[in-house]
Amino acid sequence: MADQDVALMAHLLRRAAFGASRDEIEAKVAQGYDNVVEELLTPQERPGIEDDLLMRYQPAYHEAAAIETNIQAWVYRMINNPRQLQEKMALFWHMIFCAGHSKIDSGQEMGRMIQMFRDHGMGNFRDLLYRLSTSPAMVYYLDNNESHKEALNENYGRELLELFSLGVGKDEEFNYSEDDVKACARAFTGWNIAPPYPPFPYGRSPWDFRFDPADHDDSEKTFLGETGNLNGDDVLDIIARQPATARFLARHLYNYFVADDVQIPAWRLTPPADMAAIDALEQAYFDSGYEISAMLRVLFNSDFFKAEGVRYAKVKNPAEMVVSTLRMVGEHREIQPGLFELSQEPKYMGMDLMNPPTVEGWHTGREWIDSGTLVERINFASDLLGNTELPGVQSLVDRLMARGDTLTPDQFVEGCLDLTGPLTVTDDTLTELRSHALKGGDLSHGSPAERADFARRTGEMFQMIAATAEFQFE
Amino acid sequence: MSTHFFGLTDRTFEYSHSVGRNEFAGTGFRNPVDFALDSDGVAYVLNRSYENRPDGVRITVCTLDEEYVTEFGTYGEEDGNFIWPSGIALDREERLYVTDEWLNRVSIFTRDGEFLGKWGVGGSGDGELDRPAGIAISADQTVYITDSRNGRVQQFTLDGQYLGQFGRPGQGNGEFDLPWGIALGQDGLVYVADWRNDRVQVFTADGQWQASFGRSGSGVGEFNRPNGVAVDADGDICVTDWLNNRVQILAPDGRFLTQLVGDHVMSQWGKDKLVSNPDMIRQRALAYANNPGYERNFAHPCAVKIDSQGRICVLDHTRGRIQVYNKVKEPALV
């Protein structure tokens, strides 16, 4: 199996999935890159999580009221959903269509919103905007339930344009005016929520969207140059056909899957780093009739995605850091107790899942890293990778042993980097790792004592690799 | 005018009342998975809760008249603790036996909650357990356990000595796919909710296969992951049809008799919770007008028992309550 094929597949699975074990990477290489891309893009054609089993062994995951339980259930799915790109896209939309538990105060509704992203996050963008606009959690989070025919609240109308579709501007131009914001908000009046049951005594009922025609402003409006008795549906149609929407989506997908970009408020004045890539994604958006999966197909099959220069050039976000490490070491690959504490780890690293800091979401890229979060990231990964009892780590140790009866320190370091990535490190890092390995000399595994020492030193080397700057990237 | 009568002629199932509410401690239940009823009509409700609310993992003791008695047990791996409690049953001396499908053991308590002992070891050999789920104890003090991931039923003495087993993983007669609930009929037959095969299987006490009822689906006599089973004095078989949100009642020969979908009226504990919160009273009133079925109907019923009065008691998992039904011979208004 060619090293470059393994490296490319590992890259695809780091970006379009939450990483994979070495066994899984090699199995996917055997399937072929193009086939794996299609598999990722067509989740409906293959089995997902076995929900009946999940509900049997973790019954509290179902209709869970507590936010912690919803986060735990989502982390379980990120680790184990065979339809990995679904989970990756659920996280993608959660980081853009931000709504947070701190205001919503319903773990169940946050969980339902993530489920909506999971189910429709690779579908049609116009359809997704409709689902977002009728999502009770979003209606409540951005106060559309307080926006009335006679007393307008512009919050949802404004954020829909600024943060959920057009963006403030592109190519140094503004994408919409204050009048467009008002017209948009008026079009969504009457989009509200039916009364749900309270939490006590039998648990909240799911919130349902409800349109109240008597509270809807049906008068004439002008939005982005189009005039009529526009309602929310009309506004979404207009939004979907804007070049700015294609740019917005293309730039977000590039930032999430290819290379870190500047933060969204800077997009009006800062052009994309790779305009040709953005053009290709925009073209796919319009050619397909706003299909997100069509854009992803172009992206994953493109040279700009496969390029060696973009590999290990994106900072892992905390959820990616936690979940990819768990997948690599083979922990929680079946339903078992003990996931609660682990599911809180992204929060300690600066990403409180289901509770973004503002409607603008988290700042990504190198802003994930500060002295505090770096310590959390390193401690988390090194604790797990250094535990040679874990099945994934044990498998890596076995693979390393299979490379020869005796490994020189250089071969040992090279093998460890290959199996935890394949990871390319700077010369300085490599020198440090080799220097440490040299202290122990050659590694053999003929006797039980040698095997134990081999495993111990491998765990130690994995811990050192987890502490490198390079391990913070994907 | 004549009445064209199709179906039952001699039984009516009449909702009586509900017991409980969702609660992590005291007067209520949290993700209850099974319960047992003693000869005094006291219920021992096994609450699974979840790991970030370990305080909710416990056995709640109360009467079916909604008198709170006590609670005991907690989350953990020490003696008397539970991780994934799954089934509960009483022996002839009315000691409680609780299965734990993570710890692969059975814990024994007095009715007051005093820990008496434990037995069980993980594995697939004779007498070893892999996710023990349902438990029932016969009049001769034989313990029957659905050993779910081993796809079998195992029999033990009260102190855990292995006696025998029947079944194996599969879909054929006498085979199981993750069996869950188990009940013993007055005729000595053993009834098993064959969970992932969507059916109920019937065996003699020594494990001879007698019959299988049901198939996958949501129609008459069809099941979607049945998990609890009970047999009353007439031999009628009550099955909690978990993901179809109903209880199906079958005749002794397996014919469909009727279904219960839930008829809940606010329990006293429920009222107690609401009475001090006028905002929630108002909110519930609006919600009830909008969607009365949400609170009334079963939400993942997971265990059913017959009490000493012949009443059918259904543990309603997601809503944290027991709905009690009378079975009456005379015509009753429902």
Write the DSSP string, A394-405.
HHHHHHHHTT-S
Interchain contact, A69 vs B270, CB within 8 Å: no
Kindly state the average pLDDT of the residues A1-18. Answer: 94
* Number of compact structural domains in chain A: 1
The β-bridge relationship of strands B74-75 and B81-82 is parallel
pLDDT in tens, A331-350: 999 999 999 999 999 999 99
pLDDT at B330 over 90: no
State how far Cα A6 lies from the chain centre.
Answer: 23
Per-residue pLDDT at A451: 97
CA distances from residue A24 to A265, A335, A336, B182 in whole angstroms, order as listed: 39, 19, 21, 40
Nearest CB partner across the interface for A52, out of B225, B286, B294: B225
Kindly state whether B178 is in contact with chain A, defined as any CB-CB distance less than 8 angstroms: yes
Residue A177 is encoded by which pair of tokens?
């005016």
Residue of A51, A53, A56, A335 to mutate when probing chain B, most B C-beta within 10 A: A56
The C-alpha atoms of residue B69 and residue B146 are separated, in whole angstroms, by: 29
pLDDT at B328 over 80: yes
Kindly state the average pLDDT of the residues A444-466. Answer: 97
Size of chain A in residues: 474
Residue ranges making up the domain that contains A412 = 391-472
Specify if A457 maps to a domain.
yes
Q: Between A264 and A468, whose confidence is greater?
A: A468
Interchain contact, B280 vs A200, CB within 8 Å: yes
Write the DSSP string, A105-163.
--HHHHHHHHHHHHHHTTSBHHHHHHHHHT-HHHHHHTTGGG--SSS---HHHHHHHHT
Kindly state the average pLDDT of the residues A407-421. Answer: 96
Give B68's strand partners: B62
Specify if A411 maps to a domain.
yes
Per-residue pLDDT at A264: 86
Answer whether B167's CB lies under 8 Å from B161's CB.
no
Sorted by sequence, the CB contacts under 8 Å of residue B224 that are 6+ apart come out as B198, B216, B217, B218, B241, B242, B243, B244
The ipTM value here is 0.94
Specify if A447 maps to a domain.
yes
Residues of chain B with C-beta less than 8 angstroms from the C-beta of A69: 50, 52
The C-alpha atoms of residue A314 and residue A369 are separated, in whole angstroms, by: 12
Kindly state the average pLDDT of the residues A373-384. Answer: 97
Per-residue pLDDT at B257: 92
Closest listed residue to residue A140, CA positions, set A67, A211, A66, A207: A207
C-alpha dihedral sign at A288, A290, A293, A298: positive
Nearest CB partner across the interface for B22, out of A57, A72, A202: A202
Residues of A with CB under 8 A from a CB of B: 52-53, 55-60, 62-64, 66, 68-69, 72, 194-203, 205, 208, 336-340
The C-alpha atoms of residue B7 and residue B332 are separated, in whole angstroms, by: 15
Kindly state whether B299 is in contact with chain A, defined as any CB-CB distance less than 8 angstroms: yes
pLDDT in tens, A72-101: 999 999 999 999 999 999 999 999 999 999
Specify if A396 maps to a domain.
yes
What is the separation, in whole angstroms, between the first and last Cα of chain B? 22
pLDDT in tens, B227-265: 999 999 999 999 999 999 999 999 999 999 999 999 999
The C-alpha atoms of residue A240 and residue B30 are separated, in whole angstroms, by: 45
pLDDT in tens, A117-148: 999 999 999 999 999 999 999 999 999 999 99
3-state secondary structure of B197: helix
pLDDT at B11 over 90: no
Per-residue pLDDT at B1: 62
Cis status, amide bond into B132, omega within 30 of 0: no
The C-alpha atoms of residue B240 and residue B35 are separated, in whole angstroms, by: 13
C-alpha dihedral sign at A9, A14, A17, A22: positive
Kindly state whether B95 is in contact with chain A, defined as any CB-CB distance less than 8 angstroms: no
The DSSP H or E segment spanning A38 is helix A33-41
Specify if A399 maps to a domain.
yes
Residue of A nearest to B51 (CA): A340
Q: pLDDT-based confidence at B329, cuts 50/70/90?
A: confident
Specify if A326 maps to a domain.
no
The C-alpha atoms of residue A33 and residue A35 are separated, in whole angstroms, by: 5
pLDDT in tens, B276-304: 899 999 999 999 999 999 999 999 999 99
Residue of A nearest to B302 (CA): A56
Residue of A nearest to B288 (CA): A197
- What's the one-letter identity of residue A457? R
Chain mean pLDDT for chain A: 96
- In B108-167, the residues whose Cβ lies within 8 Å of chain A are none
Give A124's strand partners: A291
State what percent of residues in chain A have pLDDT above 90: 97
Provide the shortest C-alpha distance from residue A340 to chain B (in Å): 6
Residue B162 is encoded by which pair of tokens?
């292995």
Residues of chain B with C-beta less than 8 angstroms from the C-beta of A66: 50, 52-53
Residues of chain A with C-beta less than 8 angstroms from the C-beta of B31: 59-60
Kindly state whether B51 is in contact with chain A, defined as any CB-CB distance less than 8 angstroms: yes
Specify if A220 maps to a domain.
no
pLDDT in tens, A18-50: 999 999 999 999 999 999 999 999 999 999 999
State what percent of residues in chain B have pLDDT above 90: 93
Interchain contact, B274 vs A200, CB within 8 Å: yes
DSSP A206: P
3-state secondary structure of A390: coil
Specify if A427 maps to a domain.
yes
